[in-house]
Amino acid sequence: MIRFSTNVIDIDSGAETDRIVAFLQRNVRREMKRRGAVVGISGGIDSAVVLALSVRAFGARNVTAVMMPDRDSDPISERLARALAARYGVEPLLEDITAALEGFDCYRRRDDAIRRVFPEFDAAKGYKSKIVLPQDLLEAGTFNVYSVTVVAPDGREETRPLGAREMLEITAASNLKQRSRMSVLYFHAEARQFAVIGTSNKNEHAQGFFVKHGDGGVDIQAIAHLFKTQVYQLSRHLDVPVSIQQRTPTTDTYSAPCDQQEFFFRLPFATLDPIWFARENRIPVPEVARGMGLPEVQVQRVYDDIAGKQSTTEYLRLSPPILDPAKPAYA
Amino acid sequence: MDRHTIDGHIEAALRGFIAENLLFSEQGFPYPDDVSLLRERIIDSLGVVELAAFVGQRFGVRVEQTEVRPENFDSIAKLAAFVRRKQSGVRPEAAHPA
């Protein structure tokens, strides 16, 4: 029986690095018959760790790092990504996907949906937008119902609830970004006979914070078994630039600054991850509550939120079902 | 306000909407009215938004975002009670038709 404490998810970063490197080498080289790795680098902690692991697994000359900003990306992301690539001796490629997204009508489709909620919204005049979840998960049981926040050119912010149609259209348009990036990564992978290495962590993969056939469209997942706080532990062992370690995790998808907590997770990772670990290991709620210094009802809300997100995003992780090929309906 | 609501058949309308639009079921709504829609994974966050819009249109009540919470929306029984409270508050005449 595991005894719960807030550091229950601490890992042996050296041993875990060796395990992941061996996993990548075995699968990419032996199983997939690919020579190296393509990694999309965003300037965030997850892709930084995956790039570092890939360089350890295949050597810098067998790793291609690709930066894929669009017009909504924070310029800091590219600066951090360049610093990251330099740290590991990889020459980064820049692929601005703005023109591709304009070709898909991504921005117009998204902004038309936002304008149905905020008629005054006009990106050309400097309005910015993001979508957010309620941030009171511990304090109240709430549904994961999204709102849209618009930031006016003078800095005023206003948030309004999203209807189902608007939510679907904004999501579908925004997902064109991740799917465009996936296409660019596969171009570079196929041109070099490399594999695309996924950068989703466990929080993203298991709770459905990824785009099916977008950032979820990869050949192998390097860190999808690790909680975000464990990814930070690995980043220190792998000597990821401190500026990336200290950056607040961001979606970098919407034009207004939007961190991952307000967009999806609703809790700091330092709170979420130990509670999630406890839930997976069937540690009783009262013991977790004592260890976290939280009321039992709040721990239960986190348990329920995790279960709800895992269940409602199962479709994202589902491979296309195929009928039994041994039993076709012969004439 | 139609007779469906006035006659106290709010639950039937909710069950029908969820079965058709959220469960995509031809078998109706196969759960008791007090089952947790959230815990049983009958609705997700998008379903909640659709349900809130349906309640507003079908029963003529204004649903504030702050009211879209599990204590009001997490079962057919809770949602029907919520609709009745809203109707009695917003349109007192609807609760006691002449």
Q: Look up residue A258 and give its two tokens.
A: 């939007």
Residues A178-225: pLDDT tens digits?
Answer: 999 999 999 999 999 999 999 999 999 998 889 999 999 999 999 999
Place of tokens 């721990």: A299
More confident site: A200 or A147? A200
Residue A310 confidence (pLDDT):
87
Residues B28-53: pLDDT tens digits?
Answer: 899 999 999 887 878 888 888 899 99
CA pair distance B56, A145, nearest whole angstrom: 16
pLDDT, mean of residues A163-173 = 93
Closest partner CB to A308 (pick from B38, B46, B53): B38
pLDDT exceeds 90 at position A140: no
Quickly list DSSP for A209-229.
-S-TTTTT--SEESSTTS-HH
Q: Look up residue A166 and give its two tokens.
A: 């608007």
CA pair distance A44, A79, nearest whole angstrom: 11
Chain B contact for A167, CB < 8 A?
A: yes
pLDDT, mean of residues A140-164 = 87
Where chain B has pLDDT below 70, the residues are 1-8, 90-98
Q: Which residues of A touch B73 (CB under 8 A)?
A: 143
Which sequence spans correspond to the domains of chain A? 102-169, 267-315
The answer to whether the CB of A199 falls within 8 A of the CB of A40 is: yes
pLDDT, mean of residues A222-240 = 97
The answer to whether the CB of A304 falls within 8 A of the CB of B70 is: no
Exposure pattern of B33-72 as b/e (b: 16+ CB <10 Å)? Answer: eebebbeeebbbbbbbbbbbebbeebbbbebebebbbbeb
The answer to whether the CB of A259 falls within 8 A of the CB of A253 is: no
Residue A263 confidence (pLDDT):
66
pLDDT, mean of residues A133-147 = 73
A271 C-beta neighbours (distance < 10 Å), count: 20
| pLDDT > 90 in chain A, percent | 74
CA pair distance A302, A308, nearest whole angstrom: 10
Residues A48-72: pLDDT tens digits?
Answer: 999 999 999 999 999 999 999 999 9
CA pair distance B37, A82, nearest whole angstrom: 47
Q: Which residues of A touch B41 (CB under 8 A)?
A: 308, 311-312
**Of A317, A143, A133, which Cα lies nearest the Cα of B50?**
A143
- Which bin fits B41, alpha (ψ -120 to 50), beta or left (φ > 0)? left
Query: Coil, strand or helix: which one is A163?
Result: coil
One-letter amino acid at B35 equals V
Q: Look up residue A329 and give its two tokens.
A: 């309906």
pLDDT, mean of residues A298-319 = 88
Please tell me what DSSP assigns to residue B67. G
The answer to whether the CB of A252 falls within 8 A of the CB of A177 is: no
Closest partner CB to A164 (pick from B41, B53, B70): B53
**Of A44, A47, A40, A52, which Cα lies nearest the Cα of A77?**
A44
**Of B7, B3, B8, B28, which Cα lies nearest the Cα of B18?**
B28
Domains and their CATH numbers in chain B: 3-92 (1.10.1200.10)
pLDDT exceeds 60 at position A283: yes
Alpha helices in B35-96 (DSSP H): 45-59, 70-73, 76-90, 92-95
Residue A18 confidence (pLDDT):
98
- Residue A262 binned pLDDT confidence (cut-offs 50, 70, 90): low
Counting every residue written for chain B, the total comes to 98
Q: Which residues of A touch B38 (CB under 8 A)?
A: 143, 304, 308
CA pair distance A37, A64, nearest whole angstrom: 6
Residues A7-54: pLDDT tens digits?
Answer: 889 999 999 999 999 999 999 999 999 999 999 999 999 999 999 999
CA pair distance A228, A248, nearest whole angstrom: 12
Question: Among all residues of chain B, which has the CA nearest to that of A165?
Answer: B50
Residue A211 confidence (pLDDT):
95
Asked if A168 lies within 8 A of B46 by C-beta distance, the reply is: yes
Residue B97 confidence (pLDDT):
35
Q: What is the mean pLDDT of chain A?
A: 92
Residue A276 confidence (pLDDT):
93
One-letter amino acid at A308 equals G
Give the phi and the psi of residue A258 in degrees, each rounded to 5: -150, 115
The answer to whether the CB of A199 falls within 8 A of the CB of A210 is: no
Question: Among all residues of chain A, which has the CA nearest to that of B42?
Answer: A312
Counting every residue written for chain A, the total comes to 331
CA distance A311 to chain B (A): 7
Strands across the sheet with A128-132, in order? Answer: A128-132, A147-151, A157-161
**Tell me, what's the ipTM?**
0.72
Chain B residues 41-80 with a CB less than 8 Å from chain A = 41, 44-46, 48-50, 53, 65, 68-71, 73
CA distance A316 to chain B (A): 14
Paired with A220 in beta bridges are A197
Residue A324 confidence (pLDDT):
85
CA pair distance A37, A79, nearest whole angstrom: 22
Residue B4 confidence (pLDDT):
47
